[in-house]
Amino acid sequence: YADGMESPIQSYLESLHAEIAQLRDGRPDTNIPGISNADPDKFGICVSTVDGYVYEVGDTRDEFTIQSISKPLTYALALADLGTEAVDEKIDVEPSGDAFNELSLAEGSGRPANAMINAGAIAAASLIKGSGGSSRFKRILKTYSDFAGRELDYSQRVYESERRSGHRNYAIAYLLRQFNIIEQDPVPLLEDYFRQCSVLVTCRDLAMVAATLANSGTNPQTGKQVLELDVVDRVLSVMATCGMYDDAGAWLSSVGMPAKSGVGGGIIAVLPGQVGVGIYSPPLDEHGTSVRGGAASLRLSQDLGLHFVHAG
């Protein structure tokens, strides 16, 4: 589009943003002191196509912590490192219907239900090993950076806050240790898990992460192949069934896209072969999902025909 001419999708996103900005429900996360002072008015929407066209509106360049959107990315790295079979021995692929921080392991196998709840995500992080002079966390951060297409860092302040206040995650990790799902000291592992949750991203970064998943594992802007197709398939399947925790069924029915939320206020949603969506707005609903993020995802799905049942 020539200078001064807006594309139809850009003007659509601007009116959607203005409308959904009016929603005043929810409040920023209160469990992690380091993020509870987030500005409730911040709101960004970014959409990237698999051929690298990026549309953004609102606060798309503000940094916030990735939180649970880290989970599918670390799970992907574990799958790439060890293969599906070895990872499946430790982490199942069933929706739990529980909240993200539920203290539960499956009866019998002792495995966490899936890699999207905290128990499964901590187990996934435990499977990542340092290599070639790179620590476990350095490898995790490098993977996230490849997804986003720029070099990311983490917030030392939020990390410290999670380390001091994350008692429930310590309880989960010790339970995993007791059942030999993790076979290492829980404390350094949790420190890396808290670091991965504290990685700073923008709404635009999230759209690029989502678009990389939509584009069979290759970042549409850098052209770098981050994941093999079989890993992408697995990650998107688990996001579809478990990414929104105890809201996963309602989400897939209404929005119809594999997605992942984080208590920092971010959401990614992926329509394979077509688009990746990143949204940022800190006020959360009772599932820990961004209220405006959920509403915007639904509208995008309806207005642009992104529901998997009838897309493509």
Cα 181 to Cα 75, 82, 173, 185, 196: the distances in Å are 15, 15, 9, 12, 20
Q: Rounded to an integer, what distance in angstroms lies between the CA atom of residue 226 and that of residue 232?
A: 10
Of 235, 236, 252, the residue nearest 244 (C-alpha): 252
Cβ-based nearer residue to ligand GLN, 276 or 288? 288
Q: Which of 255, 263, 270, 277 is catalytic?
A: 263
Reply yes or no on whether 245 is catalytic. Answer: yes
3-state secondary structure of 5: coil
Q: Which of 198, 245, 255, 301 is catalytic?
A: 245
User: Least distance from C-beta 84 to ligand GLN, angstroms?
Assistant: 24
Cβ-based nearer residue to ligand GLN, 114 or 118? 118
Reply yes or no on whether 193 is catalytic. Answer: yes
- At residue 249's C-alpha, the angle toward residues 306 and 120, to 5°, is 105
SS (H, E, C) 65-76: ECHHHHHHHHHH
263 is known to lie in a ligand binding site: yes
Q: In the numeric block, which tokens belong to residue 255?
A: 């929005």
Reply yes or no on whether 165 is catalytic. Answer: no
Using CB positions, name the residue nearest to ligand GLN. 68
User: Least distance from C-beta 194 to ligand GLN, angstroms?
Assistant: 7
162 is known to lie in a ligand binding site: yes
User: Least distance from C-beta 238 to ligand GLN, angstroms?
Assistant: 15
159 is known to lie in a ligand binding site: no
Q: Which of 42, 50, 71, 270 is catalytic?
A: 71
Cβ-based nearer residue to ligand GLN, 204 or 260? 260
1 is known to lie in a ligand binding site: no
Element spanning 49, H or E: strand 44-49
Cβ-based nearer residue to ligand GLN, 68 or 241? 68
Q: Rounded to an integer, what distance in angstroms lies between the CA atom of residue 41 and that of residue 272?
A: 30
User: Least distance from C-beta 169 to ligand GLN, angstroms?
Assistant: 5
Q: Which residues of 126-152 are buried (b: 16+ CB within 10 A; e: fewer)?
A: bbbeeeeeeebbebbbebbbbbbbeeb
Cβ-based nearer residue to ligand GLN, 16 or 176? 176
- By DSSP bridging, strand 54-58 and strand 44-49 are antiparallel
245 is known to lie in a ligand binding site: yes
User: Least distance from C-beta 100 to ligand GLN, angstroms?
Assistant: 4
Reply yes or no on whether 70 is catalytic. Answer: no
Cβ-based nearer residue to ligand GLN, 162 or 247? 162
Of 199, 219, 217, the residue nearest 48 (C-alpha): 219
Of 99, 103, 91, the residue nearest 171 (C-alpha): 103
193 is known to lie in a ligand binding site: yes
Reply yes or no on whether 68 is catalytic. Answer: yes
User: Could you tell me which residues come within 8 angstroms of residue 48 by beta carbon, excluding any fewer than 6 positions away?
Assistant: 54, 55, 207, 208, 210, 211, 220, 221, 275, 276, 278
118 is known to lie in a ligand binding site: yes
User: Least distance from C-beta 246 to ligand GLN, angstroms?
Assistant: 11
Binding site for ligand GLN (CB under 6 A): 67-68, 100-101, 118, 162, 169, 197, 262-263, 288
Q: Which of 55, 75, 154, 193 is catalytic?
A: 193
Binding residues for substrate, by number, are: 68, 118, 162, 169, 193, 245, 263
Binding residues, by number, are: 68, 118, 162, 169, 193, 245, 263
Residues tagged active-site? 68, 71, 193, 245, 263
